[in-house]
Amino acid sequence: MARGLRVLNRLAGGTLLDRLGVRKQSERAIYHASRTGFGVAAAAARSFKGSKPNGAKRLPNVGDPGLFDLTPSEDQAMLQDAAQRFADEALRPAAADANEASTADQALLDMANELGIAILGIPEELGGAGTERSTVTNVLVAEALAHGDMGLAFACLAPSAVSNALVLWGNAEQQGTYLPAFTEESSPVAALALAEPTPLFDPMTPATTATPVDGGWTLSGIKSLVPNAASCELLIVGAMVEGEGPALFVVESDPARMKIAADPAMGLRAAATGQIRFDEVVVPASARLGASAEAATAAYRECVRLSRLAWCAMAAGTGKAVLDYVIPYVNDRQAFGEPISHRQSVAFMVANIAIELESMRLTTLRAASLAEQGKPYAREAAIARRLCVDKGMQIGSDGVQLLGGHGFTKEYPVERWYRDLRAIGVMEGGLLV
């Protein structure tokens, strides 16, 4: 229970619990503990200077339960409930305006930081709340937030992708330098940048290159659909090392060395996505994640798989939003003197959405469960990815279809959900569970 209790303890000092109406439930679970060193630094003046821990800290794998049971634990259910309330009370009401403005309100991102999402996967020795790998927990939280709005959930979860990557594959120096910033009251704006503006982009063969030079690496290439690109302070960038394979590099954002441009897309507009161009940007030799070329490539491959699981969770959350919206709509909408849900074609379409959602959730959770146990999960992740891409887009299309002409207008949210669900098939990176 330690992870959930520490997160709730962090929430206790703020007003978020009262706004979400979960104060009473949380107080029953919170134990007395205090967090130290909560200094707040302005993003522009942040300096990543942490203390070097005695060896890299890794969260242990979850033990094999022996039975296939994906019922959330009490700890997971508590965190999922808090995320769901935040999605319903904060993200959903702000979604339409954020979509039109192509940016998320900073106050909303600050509220998401209060939830403690970024510290869930950081070991307690480094100031976080993690005691073991939490892939399933992260999937449940991502799904709950996407139920409110996928674009805003993307913006809120982007920093945790970087902190998770540092915990999974960072060495002692990298963890000591960057992870302490994620445990502060104001965590850095960060993003995992894998996608590129290339037709039929294959994440395993990125066009962005990393060339070894004296004392470091030079990065050259373009990354696209980077969340909160204009305000990012820290990036983990995927690049190809000639003769070795793809790898991940930690890069501190520097406007003088990088060219950042807006990159609005069909969906996920609230995440303020942008393009970042690297023109022979020099990073230190210690920037690569992985102790060797083989380890770096293995880390990159696992990063792609875990990122795809995160997007599967987002598809399930947004798909559930579609289902929850269309059921009362088809029951209330009258045609020829009766609800349109009395029509067999309408009823079957709604039922199919519910059926496909269950399959999407189960395959995603199964892959996540294997991942956090340290077992092979590449096959399960591939199945989940294919299923969520195909069925996620179909659910979005069916949602628009069930509303008829209303589904095509911005007055109703299903057209936005349809556009967001189309992103599942093209997004690479950005999120990491």
Give the C-alpha distances (Å, rounded to integers) separating 177 from 170, 236, 250, 420: 10, 14, 11, 35
The kind and range of the H/E element at 217 are strand 216-226
CATH code: domain 300-425 is 1.20.140.10
For residue 213, what are its two tokens?
A: 């030079």
* CA separation for the pair 256, 78 (Å, rounded): 44
Return the CATH number of 193-293, one of 3.40.50.10680, 2.40.110.10, 3.10.450.630, 3.40.50.1110.
2.40.110.10
Reference 128, options 117, 136, 139, 143; nearest CA is 117
Task: Give the Cα separation of 296 and 169 in Å (integer).
Answer: 8
Helix axes 135-148, 293-332, angle to 10 degrees: 40
DSSP 116: T
**Residue 138: both structure tokens together:** 């992260």
CATH code for the domain defined by 2-29+72-187: 1.10.540.10
Between the alpha carbon of residue 293 and those of residues 148, 239, 283, 346, the distances in Å are: 40, 13, 17, 54
- Confirm if 122 and 389 have CB atoms less than 8 A apart: no
| 59, 150, 380 from 168: Cα distances, Å | 8, 25, 20
**pLDDT tens for the chain, residues 1 to 433:** 444 444 445 554 555 555 555 544 444 333 323 232 222 223 444 667 666 666 788 888 887 777 777 788 888 899 999 999 999 999 999 999 999 999 999 899 988 888 877 788 888 888 888 788 889 999 999 999 999 999 999 999 999 999 999 999 999 999 999 999 998 877 899 999 999 999 889 999 999 999 999 989 999 999 999 999 999 999 999 999 999 999 999 999 988 889 999 998 999 999 999 999 999 999 999 999 998 999 999 999 999 999 999 999 999 999 999 999 999 999 999 888 999 999 999 999 999 999 999 999 999 999 999 999 999 999 999 999 999 999 999 999 999 999 998 889 999 999 999 999 999 999 999 999 9
Residue among 214, 219, 215 nearest 246 (CA): 219
The structural domains of the chain, with segments of one domain joined by +, span 2-29+72-187, 193-293, 300-425
Which residue matches tokens 């891409």? 389
d(CA 115, CA 12): 10
Cα-based distances in Å from 158 to 21, 421, 426: 26, 18, 17
Nearest to 429 by CA among 80, 190, 254, 173: 190
